């Protein structure tokens, strides 16, 4: 618990009245999250308590610069932490997708090695062809595909999932052969496109 001397208590109240909204604007501008911005402002005021004895005038430019610098640095640190956590979460999800026991992944990789995938993808929608080629031909991660195409990573993962379903429908599989045959019959009759 931080204790503030009585002489500095009034200074702290003045700092809060003068700079709280400006500090919040800076924090929110960086984080784009109300709750995190509020937390950053609170943390920044806690850090400002270390400087209370050195602050001569609350409303001078040096004090304003100090308050803004502290909140900006604190917000950037939270932003970086968010990015690391987001990357870690996406990495973990991607590792689950790349599970070696995933039969569809193995079939797609095997088909690529035997140049069969191109023929299966002839009538595949272009957005699915693109992600399959980037993922399995060029061996890019979904994060790299997202950065390259400018499409959100979750959308890329969903497109890969749909492309795999499209491929399953074409090539069949132990559980899907019957379904794939039905689909092929319907496609021949132009009922399902």
Q: Which domains does the chain have, with CATH numbers?
A: 6-89 (1.10.1740.10), 98-188 (1.10.10)
Model confidence pLDDT, tens digit, residues 34-65: 999 999 999 999 999 888 888 888 889 999 99
Q: In the predicted model, is pLDDT for residue 138 greater than 90?
A: no
- Please state the rounded mean pLDDT for residues 138-145: 84
* pTM across the whole model: 0.45
How is residue 41 written in tokens? 């402002």
Summarize the confidence of residues 121-149 as an average pLDDT: 84
- Count CB neighbours of 52 within 10 A: 16
**Collapsing DSSP states into helix, strand and coil, what is residue 52?**
coil
Which range has the top average pLDDT, 57-66, 119-128, 166-175? Answer: 57-66
User: In the chain, pLDDT over 70 holds for what percent of residues?
Assistant: 68
């Amino acid at each position: 618990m931080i204790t503030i001397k009585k002489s500095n208590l009034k200074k702290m109240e003045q700092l809060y009245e003068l700079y709280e909204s400006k500090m919040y604007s800076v924090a929110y501008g960086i984080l784009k999250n109300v709750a995190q911005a509020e937390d950053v402002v609170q943390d920044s005021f806690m850090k400002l308590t270390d400087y209370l004895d050195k602050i001569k005038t609350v409303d001078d430019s040096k004090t304003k610069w100090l308050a803004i610098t502290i909140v900006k640095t604190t917000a950037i640190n939270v932003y970086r932490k968010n990015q690391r956590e987001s990357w870690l979460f996406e990495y973990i999800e991607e590792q689950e997708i790349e599970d070696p026991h995933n039969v569809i992944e193995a079939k797609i990789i095997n088909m690529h090695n035997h140049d069969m995938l191109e023929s299966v993808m002839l009538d595949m929608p272009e957005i699915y062809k693109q992600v399959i080629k980037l993922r399995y031909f060029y061996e890019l991660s979904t994060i790299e595909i997202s950065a390259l195409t400018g499409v959100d990573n979750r959308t890329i993962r969903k497109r890969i999932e749909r492309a795999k379903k499209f491929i399953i429908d074409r090539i069949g599989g132990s559980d899907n052969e019957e379904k794939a045959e039905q689909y092929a019959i319907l496609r021949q009759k132009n009922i399902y496109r």
